[in-house]
């Protein structure tokens, strides 16, 4: 009995010492984790917006006719419906991105595992973060904001006119 227990213990240690690939490497992938977090946040925002729409629709039904309030109530309902459409599209996009990243993670992990290389590649995550910052950056040009960023402003003295002082 003792010999059998000892041999089972040795076999278990031998099996656990084998270097096996991770069955779910995507869980260690920071890009996959970020995408799933974005998906969760979008899903939560979508549910909140659906509740807001219900409130706006209820308010629309309760509007007193011929008071001018109906126009604003309809506007809020339409804006909420547009946000829901946009959030549903974003959710669908993120679901596809998560599935694609899961597949890519597994492929790159296995390739790195077979070569004995470290995984995930930190350069890939840095590149992803830079791309995400650019994608989320403000897309409009605000002159006043740019002036503030440059350290200039209305409280600073205006630049002195060029010598000669005028037009020729």
| Residue 62 falls inside a structural domain | yes
| Residue 16 falls inside a structural domain | no
pLDDT in tens, 59-74: 999 988 888 889 999 9
pLDDT at 165: 54
| Residue 94 falls inside a structural domain | yes
DSSP string, 38-54: HHHHHHHHHHHHHHHHH
| Residue 152 falls inside a structural domain | no
165: left (phi over 0), alpha (psi -120 to 50) or beta: left
| Residue 105 falls inside a structural domain | yes
| Residue 168 falls inside a structural domain | no
35 within 8 A of 98, measured Cβ to Cβ: yes
| Residue 48 falls inside a structural domain | yes
Q: pTM, whole model, 2 decimals?
A: 0.70
| Residue 43 falls inside a structural domain | yes
* Overall domain count for the chain: 1
- Domain span holding position 51: 24-134
Burial of 26 (0-12, 13-18, 19+ CB in 10 A): buried
Give the Cα-Cα-Cα angle 90, 91, 93 (nearest 5 degrees). Answer: 65
pLDDT in tens, 105-130: 999 999 999 998 889 988 999 999 99
Within a 10 A sphere around the Cβ of 27, how many other Cβ atoms? 12
State which residues of the chain have pLDDT below 50.
Answer: 12, 14-15
């Amino acid at each position: 009995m003792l010999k059998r227990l000892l041999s089972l213990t040795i076999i278990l240690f031998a099996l656990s010492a084998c270097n096996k690939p991770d069955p779910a490497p995507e869980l260690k992938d920071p890009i996959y984790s970020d995408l799933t977090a974005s998906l969760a946040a979008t899903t939560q925002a979508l549910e909140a917006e659906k509740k807001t729409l219900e409130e706006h629709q209820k308010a629309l039904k309760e509007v007193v006719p011929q008071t001018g309030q109906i126009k604003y109530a309809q506007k809020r309902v339409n804006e909420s419906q547009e946000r829901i459409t946009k959030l549903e599209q974003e959710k669908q996009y993120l679901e596809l991105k998560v599935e694609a990243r899961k597949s890519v993670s597994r492929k790159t992990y296995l390739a790195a595992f077979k070569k004995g290389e470290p995984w995930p590649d930190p350069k890939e995550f840095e590149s992803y973060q830079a791309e995400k910052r650019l994608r989320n950056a403000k897309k409009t040009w605000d002159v006043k904001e740019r002036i503030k960023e440059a350290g200039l402003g209305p409280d600073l003295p205006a630049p002195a006119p060029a010598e000669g002082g005028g037009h020729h």
